[in-house]
Amino acid sequence: MISVHTAFPNMANPLGTLFGGHVLELMDMGAAVASQRFCRNAVVTASTEPIDFRNPIHVGEIIELKCRVAWTGRTSMIVRCEVHGENPLTGERRLCTIGHLNFVAIGDDGRPTPVPQLKVETEMEHRHWETGQRVRDDLERRRSRKAYEPT
């Protein structure tokens, strides 16, 4: 899934760069579309894994978002999102963030439902699968810690 947007002033902080929360919102919506297209079911965001902002996106720049399912489990999918900023006048592009979001497919009964197995063929798809597996392993370790339980 690829989407393209323009960074407007109402999306920015006093420094003229996009709010991180707005970038996260774009990633969540794009990842939802990618995962829903993949499994052809309703989906919900289960978690966002650590996301680091590498470079700012400035007002007036083009925001390009690429999201693809990188890993699948029984009912869940890890979606890789890449966000680039582009100066529309010079064409200079830079990677602003890469993040992974965890989605769960939901069946007609409102419960998690199985998703298709992802076909991993290219070298890049294998790298993304391995990264998705590490993201999933980290998520499981985090959830298994006693401190994760609500008080």
Q: Cite the beta strand spans of 7-89 per DSSP E.
A: 42-48, 52-53, 62-72, 76-86
User: Whole-prediction pTM value?
Assistant: 0.91
Nearest-angstrom CA–CA distance, 63 and 147:
37
What is the reported pLDDT for 143?
A: 85
Intra-chain end-to-end CA distance of the chain, in Å: 39
The Cα 76–Cα 54 span in angstroms is 27
| 69 Cβ contact list (under 8 Å, min separation 6) | 34, 35, 38, 77, 78, 79, 80, 118
pLDDT at 34: 98
Residue 132, pLDDT above cutoff 90: yes
Tell me the C-alpha distance between 81 and 70, whole Å.
10
Give me the residue label for tokens 């894994």. 49
How far apart CA 127 and CA 122 sit, in angstroms, is 9
pLDDT digits (tens, 9 = 90+) for 18-56: 999 999 999 999 999 999 999 999 999 999 998 999 999
Residue 83: exposure state from Cβ atoms within 10 A (0-12, 13-18, ≥19) = buried
Contact 129, 71 (CB under 8 A): yes
DSSP 58: B
Q: So what's the pLDDT on residue 149?
A: 63
Q: What is the pLDDT of residue 151?
A: 60
| Count of beta carbons in the 10 Å neighbourhood of residue 94 | 13
Tell whether the model's pLDDT for residue 15 goes beyond 90: yes
Domains with residue ranges and CATH for the chain: 2-148 (3.10.129.10)
pLDDT of residue 50: 86
